Structure 1
């Protein structure tokens, strides 16, 4: 729909044997204004842990996501979904 951002990718970071995720990473496409948003949040809603980047190109947004994935790989495992479909644990 015009005007609404589209969620293109979401990933939850699980540390150790934790049943609950410790981070949520999302990639949004801004359709009306153009550009991309990469948003990292605490799934428990602590706003002070929220980080966001607004980028013009999809390649730049995906590169930013790759950096966050690499940092998270050192701490746990990611459950990634693209376009609503599971990619599995990376």
Structure 2
């Protein structure tokens, strides 16, 4: 059973990323932000355990909240965030 997700009322203002970092730093930074947004959306929808968050469910949640489908690496990060947030 899927519960409706409460969408954020006002998005946070985006800040420019610091210049001069290696490309990998920006990729990792954006991946972490995406994983955090997805973990929060999953928790809001009632998925509280990492073993409940399979890649298919994470990607369906991403589609529901308007985020591009995450990679396998990002899905792994989402589960890790859910695991260590206790």
Q: Which of the five TM-score ranges fits, normalised by the shorter chain?
A: 0.3 to 0.5
* Higher RCO by CA contacts (8 Å cutoff, separation 6 or greater): 2
TM-score normalized with structure 1 length: 0.33
TM-score normalized with structure 2 length: 0.34
Say which structure is richer in helix: 2
Say which structure is richer in strand: 1
